[in-house]
């Protein structure tokens, strides 16, 4: 039985060679090969392409969702626990995590003949609410106007305890003013603040928030870096 089967196969091949020249047969086999490859691999290619597209779509969606957490250009921040705060100056509280660096920065500035004064540190969400809505009403401002100079409650870096407003002890008229950038204090901070892990939060590149040369935030701990991660990855 096996010999007969083999004989039939040989006869079939002989017949094929007589009907089709060898080169033509090989060519046809190659064409069939290509067609089979397309039938097998085309769906796999389309499937892979769709998977990548879905991944890209999800990335874009995630990015959009992340952007949506901002309110009027400000990111949300949790309020620091009171037990994590310490007084750095009368009536000025800051997070214990940045106390040492802040004090060291102030002391070193004095050695260079520059006297820093702290204007505002930690602010509770309750206080931020008063600052935002009360002054908004007094100054007859719409929310977007007010948000350029003051964050909505729950969206202020000050609530974390890791933000500090700084002035020049010999130029108090520049407190909370853009003119602070012309003081010895600001020039010293610009050249030295990074050594103590402080950076300017709202520089001139911002779009939704006004330039604030007096407002600095601390980034010298994992806790602080995690808090400010979103704002470090985006511009306003």
Active site residues: 212
Q: How far apart are CA 215 and CA 29, in angstroms?
A: 75
CB 186 within 8 A of CB 201: no
Q: Tokens representing 150?
A: 């003051």
* DSSP SS3 for 65: helix
CB 215 within 8 A of CB 202: yes
CB 164 within 8 A of CB 219: no
Instruction: Say which residue the tokens 């002391």 belong to.
Output: 107
DSSP 236: -
Strand 92-95 relative to strand 198-202: parallel, antiparallel, unpaired?
Answer: unpaired
Sequence-separated contacts (24+) of 83-92 with Cβ below 8 Å: 84/161, 85/122, 85/161, 88/118, 88/121, 89/117, 89/118, 89/121, 92/118, 92/119, 92/120, 92/121
CB 218 within 8 A of CB 163: yes
């Amino acid at each position: 039985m096996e010999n007969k089967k083999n004989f039939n196969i040989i006869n079939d091949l002989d017949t094929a060679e007589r009907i089709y020249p060898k080169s033509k047969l090989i060519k046809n086999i190659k064409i069939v090969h290509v067609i089979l490859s397309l039938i097998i691999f085309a769906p796999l290619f389309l499937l892979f392409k769709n998977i990548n597209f879905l991944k890209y779509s999800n990335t874009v969606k995630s990015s959009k969702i992340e952007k949506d957490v901002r309110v009027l250009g400000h990111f949300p921040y949790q309020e620091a626990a009171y037990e994590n705060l310490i007084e750095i100056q009368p009536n000025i509280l800051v997070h214990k995590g940045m106390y040492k660096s802040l004090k060291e920065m102030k002391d070193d500035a004095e050695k260079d003949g520059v006297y820093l004064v702290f204007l505002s540190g930690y602010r509770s969400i309750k206080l931020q609410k008063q600052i935002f809505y009360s002054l908004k009403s007094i100054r007859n401002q719409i929310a977007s106007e007010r948000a350029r100079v003051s964050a909505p409650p729950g969206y202020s870096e000050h609530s974390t305890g890791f933000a500090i407003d700084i002035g020049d002890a010999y130029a108090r008229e520049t407190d909370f003013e853009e003119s602070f950038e012309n003081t010895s204090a600001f020039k010293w901070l610009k050249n030295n603040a990074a050594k103590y892990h402080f950076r300017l939060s709202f520089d001139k590149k911002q779009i939704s928030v006004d330039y604030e040369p007096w407002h600095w935030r601390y980034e010298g701990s994992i806790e602080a870096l995690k808090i400010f991660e979103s704002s470090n990855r985006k511009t306003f």
